[in-house]
Chain A
């Protein structure tokens, strides 16, 4: 080892052990250099200069951004997931065996495999969905929910927005939204109640369609195998455009057709990438999930009825002391607030608090007079 005491900034920058400490500090190197600095405090300025040189030399050879790496890595993981479970093809000549039993066996095996593949692919994300997730959301901490059950389920997003996810539907969202935008990716059907925040637009990527809102409620229907994507608005205003147009922001601003108001729906014909707007007929209205048409107006409504209605529209269980709170009633006009906000409003009226425990809403309240 050298006598580091006589080293200039040049010399430090040249020293491999010093460089290792700056670039890839190991516990040993850190301990050594910290101790050395403690013993030679007059050298701290020289060390700082040397650090700068080493870092500049490294940065001058830097060619890729953190974001770009995140996107590329997400694509690798998505590709690995897709091939990871695919059975490797086995190639064997069909006519090599004259034994009929083997033939019969192989037919059964093929049937079995088809059933397995059907079941399997039915639960798998589509390629378009996986790709969209990889490109849209750069946050490495992605959460995904897939509704395998036959009942709708409610999800609360990190910003407090509610999503009622229909069976066989899938949604991806980051554990923490970015500052500038709230982006989620949907495959299947869901009803959204978006927490209002004009500074942070909420974007839903569903197949080839992008829906942009600031705070409103609406349904999106976008199953991978359907030839159409539908957006139906309950309250507020939404903007829709195709993923293709998203690359030309000025085109989006100019497309008036892409703005939707309540009781309107837009259909994307996926093959032509064409948008069609229409008013919702009474017939269509009846086919929608109950929350789409549900109003949340209460006038001296017993609390038990209010909770029952929330339970059935949001598909959650609400626990409260029925006896204690039997005299409570609610007069309120709730709109398209997400579920947590609705609960907060109700609780403030009846002077109660709520918490979520194991997917259940638990109300801590008191008796009303």
Chain B
């Protein structure tokens, strides 16, 4: 309740032209925006430029906005749009990793693989490398699901896909993770379980 009041006050201060409020809102959302953007490009300066453009655009538009745009889904979607535009302009697209619609193997026996989680908890570097080896869109879906804990509906909105396609994509990500690394078996189980709950 308190945080709602605070958010409203911040948003009103922002709207009235208080740049400190902008700073606070920006620092609250910067991390998730930056980390999300790394799923599309590794160009750190380009990412920072795009995030700055996004916040300055909102700043310029503040008098025309009727409700707070500082909502994770909205910000992620806008940033992705800006990034794509810039990447297209600068022809920085790497088209090698658009995942193909490879059929998901129904036989994957996931439930049988329970492993010691302590290993997983202490292997941040390995988790990182396994994730980085996934195709771009699979990294994106895993980020949205597990870094930001968004629902399948919200992920579908950000990725411009229907819910079924999001679930399929998640399953493909699981499939690839399993092939990448034996320890990732845990993740497979984790993802599979969640997909089935949806």
Binding site for B on A (CB under 8 A): 8-10, 13-14, 16, 19-20, 23-24, 27, 49-50, 52-53, 55-64, 69-70, 72-77, 79-81, 83-84, 140
Contact = CB atoms under 8 A, between A and B. Distances in A.
A19 to B, nearest CB: 5
B7 interface: no
Contact of B190 (A13, A27, A49, A62): A13
B20 interface: yes
Nearest to A17: B149
B73 interface: no
Contacts of B19: 77, 80-81, 84
Contacts of B120: 53, 56
A13 B117 contact: yes
A345 to B, nearest CB: 39
9 contacts: A10-B114, A49-B121, A52-B121, A58-B146, A63-B34, A69-B31, A70-B27, A72-B51, A83-B60
Given A14-B190, A70-B27, A77-B23, A84 B149 contact: no
B133 interface: no
Residue of A16, A49, A61 ringed by the most chain B CB atoms within 10 A: A61
Nearest to B22: A80
Interface residues of B, number: 41
B117 A72 contact: no
Contact of B117 (A10, A58, A70, A79): A10
Contact of B30 (A23, A69, A83): A69
A52 B20 CA distance: 35
Nearest to B30: A69
Interface stretch (B82-90, B122-130, B154-162): B122-130
B127 A60 contact: yes
Interface string B86-107: 0000000000000000000000
B133 to A, nearest CB: 12
A76 B189 contact: no
A53 B186 CA distance: 11
4 shortest A-B CB distances, which residue pairs? A52-B121, A60-B127, A77-B23, A60-B128
Contacts of A49: 117-118, 121
Contact of A57 (B22, B122, B127): B127
B52 A64 contact: no
B70 interface: no
A76 B20 CA distance: 10
A75 B49 CA distance: 10
B121 A53 contact: yes
Given A23-B149, A56-B121, A63-B38, A140 B27 contact: yes
Interface of B: 1, 17, 19-20, 22-23, 26-27, 30-31, 34-35, 38, 48, 51-52, 55-56, 59-60, 114, 117-118, 120-125, 127-128, 131, 143, 146-147, 149, 186, 189-190, 193-194
Contact of B59 (A13, A16, A58, A80): A80
A76 B56 contact: yes
A79 B34 contact: no
Nearest to B191: A14
B52 A79 contact: yes
B32 to A, nearest CB: 10
A9 B17 CA distance: 47
Contacts of B189: 10
B56 A83 contact: yes
Nearest to A48: B121
Contacts of B128: 60-61
B191 to A, nearest CB: 9
Contacts of A8: 114
Contacts of B147: 58, 61
B128 to A, nearest CB: 4
A64 B186 CA distance: 26
A49 B48 CA distance: 35
B56 A73 contact: no
Nearest to A72: B48
A98 B16 CA distance: 40
A302 to B, nearest CB: 48
A75 B55 CA distance: 11
B124 A56 contact: yes
B184 to A, nearest CB: 11
B37 to A, nearest CB: 9
B100 to A, nearest CB: 24
B121 A76 contact: no
Contact of A76 (B1, B23, B125, B186): B23
B78 to A, nearest CB: 15
B190 A76 contact: no
A14 B34 contact: no
Given A13-B190, A24-B149, A57-B127, 16 more contacts: A10-B189, A19-B149, A53-B117, A56-B120, A61-B143, A63-B34, A64-B31, A64-B35, A72-B30, A73-B27, A76-B56, A77-B19, A77-B26, A80-B56, A83-B60, A84-B17
